Amino acid sequence: MINVEKEIGGRLLTLETGKIARQSAGSVVLTYGETVLLVAVNAAKEAREDVDFFPLQVEYREKHYASGKIPGGFFKREARPTEGEVLTSRLTDRPIRPLFPKSFRNETQVIITVLQSDGENISDTWAGVGASAALLVSNIPWNGPIATVRVGMIGTDFVFNPSREQLDDCVFEMVVSGNKENIVMVEGEANEVKEEVIVDALKFAHDHILNIIQVQEELAYAVGVKKLEEPISSKNSDLEKSVFDILGDQVDKIVRIVDKVERNDQKTALIANILEKLEEQFPEEEKDIKNFIDVTFKESMREMILSEGLRSDGRKTTDIRDITIDPSILKRVHGSALFTRGETQALVITTLGSKSDEMIIDSMDEDYKKNYYLHYNFPPYCVGEVGRIGFTSRREIGHGNLAQRALKPVLPGYDDFPYTIRIVSEIMESNGSSSMASVCGGSLSLMSAGAPLKGHVAGIAMGLITDGSRNAILSDILGLEDHLGDMDFKVAGTREGVTAIQLDLKIEGISFDLLTEALSQANKGRMHILDKMYEALPEPGELSKFAPRIISLQINPEKIGALIGPGGKNIKQIIEDTECEVNVDDDGLVTVAGQDALKCEEAVKLVEAITFEPEVGMEFEGKVTRLMTFGAFVEFAPGREGLVHISELEWHRVDKVEDVCSPGDTMKIKLMKIDDQGRLDFSRKALLEKPEGWTPPPKRDRNQGGRDKGRKPFRKRR
């Protein structure tokens, strides 16, 4: 067993190997604070011949036992990975994938398990550190190490790996991965932060990344594992020459075709033609022929951009594709927008709901509810293909989460807009940056629904083409430029600043100078898109007549029991009488939702009647609930009643209560007294006109008749 440790950010980081999961190619137990993760990595013995990509699988799993919890549900065990686990798997996959050798095709698996959670040190960033350390001590070829950290900002100070409690105070938070030289991955959200602050935060993160990498290198040196040799790609020069002779300048012409469908059709026809001509000469080399053609297309497109500054659709590097916007395109939904940018199109719909529509999250460390969420769907028809329809893919979850985070900072507070908000982005066409189209469409859809946003949010995807000496940063990249380029850098924000950011690289890192230039260029592109959005929909519209009407009010938490009533009697009665949904939180926040605004107001009045603090002099119209010899009890609000003494029923003397009222009768009453036990005394006669010549009736003898009849005179005890 070997372990190394170092204090990082005020807590001890420990990496241990050789004790647990010893049959894996590499395994590491990572401990930070009292959070413990196990990472095991393995690779198949033989390369896969049927794939032209690296078959890497990263699985991050949180166990409920790690925080002393039992999972919910019928089976009481962890089932499909949660959205949070999928997102963390992606956070770990993205920075380690570009560092495997290009020729490596052995199926590789990285499994991360949270064994213990202290609830303070969030485990998602340490998953990336553990994966890097496990790969380092394995025999799997990999050009690491990397480290992953989270950076927050409280006030004007950066915070390394903020705790859950500190995250609530952060104006932005980013997860950053990097190697010794550069940043390799970024994902985060911000409350309209300037680009300069983001660059400073990345530099701050990189300082801590270097410290964590040092610990991993100490572990790898102590283990001294010998790596497998990297596979060497064999080239068939005769095949390449034969293909190149047929290609000629056809590839250069095809990459300049503006229309995506036509460009793909021309490429498909070219491949089919070459395969047919070379079938006899190279009968078993179809895969190699296709790979060589793909490489030629990639090199042609990249050279055209680097040497001419011209892209396949005719744009310059900073140009944005044409934008068309159709707000409120669907009339019966609560809010909608069709956002089209070039050949990328998103139909985004906003639905407004009540408290009962909140999403319940049952996670390892905490259980909570979300009253805002965004779902992203990428059907196969959006790229003109036939595909399998099944569970939500990791890509869909990741893109939806990015768009959700981008819009969150501009949403109104719940007190100002007491709705549960669900946004759904249906991608109708895709040719690059559909997640950023979802951001733009989501902002427009929210305003269409009448949500009082702080302002519009727009998103743009930036690309990079580099050969080491020449660099070209591309604004609003196409799908082809994403596939054949070196960077996918998504930036979303308002006119005031950035609200979300995501960086993925296919190279081993990017310098801070290039990042700064890309952020500056993204800012200009974002302002152009925002101008188009404000032109189409400058301010929020009216609330749709099909949306529920929701009213919220705050009551004294001590009155929650009275509002609910015995067995839920009172609140059920309000719901039945008004046909509205009524919910109450533990802090006393009551929300009333319904389609009819008048009925919602009626329900609010009933809630107020039950929970208000009555004061002497207030008048009510109540219902007689029961009669006693000494008076009538009247319900003046649901579940609340007081006494009208027999002497307060009429101005004249009343011998029997039954002579004035019966159970079920309505009665106007006035509150006359609240005793020290909270009992309420009402008067009916106080609201009746006093008869002319009225004189007070003689007082009752305490020892004759009434409620004191038969009672012995009071005697003082010695």
Q: What is the mean pLDDT of residues 138-158?
A: 94
- Answer yes or no: is 455 within a domain: yes
Q: Helix (H) and strand (E) counts for the chain?
A: 15, 29
- Answer yes or no: is 417 within a domain: yes
Residue 347 near residue 329 (C-beta atoms within 8 A): yes
Helix axes 434-448, 512-536, angle to 10 degrees: 40
- Answer yes or no: is 716 within a domain: no
- CA-CA distance, 15 to 1, in Å (whole number)? 11
| Residues 197, 73 share a domain | yes
The pLDDT, as a whole number, for residue 480 is: 85
- How many Cα neighbours within 13 Å face the side chain of 8? 31
Q: Which span out of 103-107, 124-128, 638-642, 670-674 was modeled with the highest average pLDDT?
A: 124-128
Distances from the Cα of 633 to the Cα of 2, 227, 643, angstroms: 80, 88, 5
Can you give the CATH number for the domain in which 678 is found? 2.40.50.140
Residue 281 has pLDDT above 90, yes or no: no
Residue 40 has pLDDT above 90, yes or no: yes
| Residues 198, 115 share a domain | yes
- Answer yes or no: is 317 within a domain: no
| Residues 246, 151 share a domain | no
SS3 assignment, position 714 = coil
Beta bridge partners of 176: 149, 186
SS3 assignment, position 684 = coil
Q: Between residues 295 and 128, which one has the greater pLDDT? A: 128
| Residues 195, 76 share a domain | yes
Lowest-pLDDT range of 73-87, 147-161, 234-248, 656-670: 234-248
Element (H, E) at 342: none
Q: Using the 3D structure, point to which of 280, 308, 336 is the last residue of a domain.
A: 308
Closest to 522 (Cα-Cα) out of 548, 541, 503: 503
Residue 268 has pLDDT above 80, yes or no: yes
pLDDT band for 58, please (50, 70, 90 cuts): very high
Structure tokens at 48: 């896969």
H-only helix segments in 248-320: 250-254, 260-277, 286-308
Residue 157 has pLDDT above 90, yes or no: yes
- Answer yes or no: is 314 within a domain: no
pLDDT band for 130, please (50, 70, 90 cuts): very high
Element (H, E) at 101: none
- CA-CA distance, 318 to 522, in Å (whole number)? 9
Residue 715 has pLDDT above 70, yes or no: no
Residue 566 near residue 341 (C-beta atoms within 8 A): no
Distances from the Cα of 319 to the Cα of 52, 202, 334, 438, angstroms: 33, 27, 34, 20
Q: What is the mean pLDDT of residues 329-357?
A: 95
Structure tokens at 156: 């004007």
- CA-CA distance, 179 to 146, in Å (whole number)? 5
Residue 718 has pLDDT above 50, yes or no: no
**Residue-averaged pLDDT of the chain:** 90
CA 518 to chain centre: 26
Residue 459 near residue 500 (C-beta atoms within 8 A): yes
| Pairing label, strands 420-429, 581-584 | unpaired
Give every CB contact of residue 646 below 8 A, 6+ residues apart in sequence.
629, 630, 631, 632, 654, 657
| Residues 242, 217 share a domain | no
- CA-CA distance, 186 to 617, in Å (whole number)? 64
Angle (CA) 497 498 500, round 5°: 160
| Residues 554, 510 share a domain | no
- CA-CA distance, 501 to 556, in Å (whole number)? 42
Residue 304 near residue 255 (C-beta atoms within 8 A): yes
Q: 332's torsion region: left (phi>0), alpha (psi -120 to 50) or beta?
A: alpha
- CA-CA distance, 682 to 354, in Å (whole number)? 38
Helix axes 195-223, 124-136, angle to 10 degrees: 40
| Residues 638, 601 share a domain | no
The pLDDT, as a whole number, for residue 700 is: 55
The pLDDT, as a whole number, for residue 676 is: 82
- Answer yes or no: is 318 within a domain: no
| Residues 446, 383 share a domain | yes
- Answer yes or no: is 574 within a domain: yes
Q: Between residues 534 and 241, which one has the greater pLDDT? A: 534
Strand order in the sheet with 323-327: 323-327, 335-341, 344-353, 420-429, 372-377
Residue in the structure block whose two tokens are 């993204």: 522
CB-based burial, 529-548: b 16+ in 10 Å, e otherwise = bbebbeebbeebeebbeebb
- Answer yes or no: is 452 within a domain: yes
The DSSP 8-state label assigned to residue 510 in this structure reads B
Residue 711 has pLDDT above 70, yes or no: no
Residue 258 near residue 301 (C-beta atoms within 8 A): no
Number of domains making up the chain: 5
| Residues 531, 634 share a domain | no
- CA-CA distance, 298 to 244, in Å (whole number)? 14
Closest to 388 (Cα-Cα) out of 380, 398, 396: 380
- CA-CA distance, 294 to 203, in Å (whole number)? 37
Q: What is the mean pLDDT of residues 357-375?
A: 87
CB-based burial, 294-305: b 16+ in 10 Å, e otherwise = eebbbebbbebb
| Residues 607, 492 share a domain | no
Q: What is the mean pLDDT of residues 653-667?
A: 91
| Residues 694, 559 share a domain | no
Can you give the CATH number for the domain in which 273 is found? 1.10.10
Give every CB contact of residue 214 below 8 A, 6+ residues apart in sequence.
6
| pTM to 2 decimal places | 0.84
Beta bridge partners of 583: 591
Q: Using the 3D structure, point to which of 611, 630, 657 is the last residue of a domain.
A: 611
Give every CB contact of residue 220 below 8 A, 6+ residues apart in sequence.
133, 136, 137, 145
The pLDDT, as a whole number, for residue 703 is: 52
Residue 714 has pLDDT above 70, yes or no: no
H-only helix segments in 449-554: 479-484, 512-536
Can you give the CATH number for the domain in which 117 is found? 3.30.230.70
Angle (CA) 336 340 344, round 5°: 120
Q: What is the mean pLDDT of residues 157-184?
A: 92
Q: What is the mean pLDDT of residues 197-221?
A: 95
Lowest-pLDDT range of 248-262, 348-362, 663-677: 248-262
User: Percentage of the chain with pLDDT > 90?
Assistant: 61
Residue 332 near residue 546 (C-beta atoms within 8 A): yes
Q: What is the mean pLDDT of residues 543-561?
A: 89
- CA-CA distance, 69 to 12, in Å (whole number)? 25
The pLDDT, as a whole number, for residue 521 is: 96
Q: Using the 3D structure, point to which of 611, 637, 653 is the last residue of a domain.
A: 611
Can you give the CATH number for the domain in which 605 is found? 3.30.1370.10
| Residues 330, 280 share a domain | no
Range of the domain at 209: 2-179+191-223
